[in-house]
Amino acid sequence: MTDTATAATRPAGRPPRRPDDRPAWRKVWEFPLVAMLVALAILYVVYRALRFVSPTLSQFASPEIMGAVGVVVTVVLVFLVYKLVIRHLGERKHDDLAGSGALRDLAVGIGGAFALMTMIVGIAAILGVYRIEGWGGLSNWVFVLFAGGIAAGFVEEVLFRGILFRWLEEFGGSWFALLLTSALFGLAHLDNDNATWFSSFCIAMEAGVLLGGAYMVTRSLWAPIGLHFGWNVTQGLVWDVPVSGHEVDGIVDAELTGHPLLSGGAFGLEASLIALIVATFFGVWLVKLAKDRGEVMQPWWVRRKARVPAKAGTS
């Protein structure tokens, strides 16, 4: 049959089939779940290597200083491993840490998180569950800035959005990836200080959907990194609200009182109905924005049947 005849018999609107002539070993190696497992293994090796050298480094300075140094080393190492290895895995090569637009997306993420968390704190103050007592001491600002801000913002986003979301989406589609990574993100916070099943549910809904939506809209990790960093630093260093259950000492000295459903209890405002409603609303808005822009990917088996490239926007 000629190409002309093939085109004539193809249903209108259906994209042309693309033959997959890759060898079998390459199909397996580039399969989304295989690429994801390889990336996770690489990240685990980096983690174990850092755990191995940390006790040696701790003897050169105070734990606080070495903690900050350790965060910087971790971020640099994860960045290099991602750029040199992880971004080249899988069939659909993509750099989620590209330099183009990085500063802009970081700034938008940080600014958006500051506005969002300040809104949540403001609502809590209006409802009488948040009150400023005076000035704080910033006694653990290094921990909040480096561990709660930089490390959590960068490393966790590479893990949850740059690896898990990316390849779960390539396998099961955007909705599958958003649901599963949000649930996993919530469960990852279950061992935090003062955590409960409800606090993990709140983290899954408000942060999982918000960060996943930011990744879908931008197809980059910089906006989610900025959001994650800005969210933790704003609530901890600026408003003296516990960061995912961890006590902090911010610029102000504040107190959360009242019913735990409004105050979040000892876990902080992240476990409150206020944050759950406000942050989830903006997360859903980002997801809808991504859908409207065509940034929704179909599952692997649907794309395979159509024999079209793995590309967001093939909804």
Return d(Cα 144, Cα 66) in angstroms, integer. Answer: 14
Q: Tell me the residue type at 191.
A: D
Distance CA(164)–CA(248), nearest Å, equals 30
Pairing, β 252-256 against β 130-135: antiparallel
- Phi and psi, residue 133, nearest 5°: -95, -25
Structure tokens at 120: 């949540």
Residue 298: HSE in the Cβ half-sphere, 13 Å Cα cutoff: 13
pLDDT tens for each residue of the chain, 315 residues long: 434 444 444 444 444 555 677 888 888 899 999 999 999 999 999 988 887 776 666 666 666 777 788 889 999 999 999 999 999 999 988 899 999 999 999 999 999 999 999 999 999 999 999 999 999 988 888 888 988 899 999 999 999 999 999 999 999 999 999 999 999 999 999 999 999 999 999 999 999 999 999 999 999 999 999 999 999 999 999 999 999 999 999 999 999 999 999 999 999 999 999 999 999 999 999 999 999 999 999 998 888 887 655 555 444
pTM of the predicted model, to two decimals?
Answer: 0.87
Task: Give the Cα separation of 233 and 241 in Å (integer).
Answer: 10
- d(Cα 268, Cα 306) in Å, to the nearest integer? 48
Categorise residue 89: left if φ over 0, alpha if ψ from -120 to 50, beta otherwise.
beta
How far apart CA 242 and CA 232 sit, in angstroms, is: 9
CA distance 263 to 255: 10
Q: How far is CA 217 from CA 32, 39, 223, in A?
A: 21, 23, 9
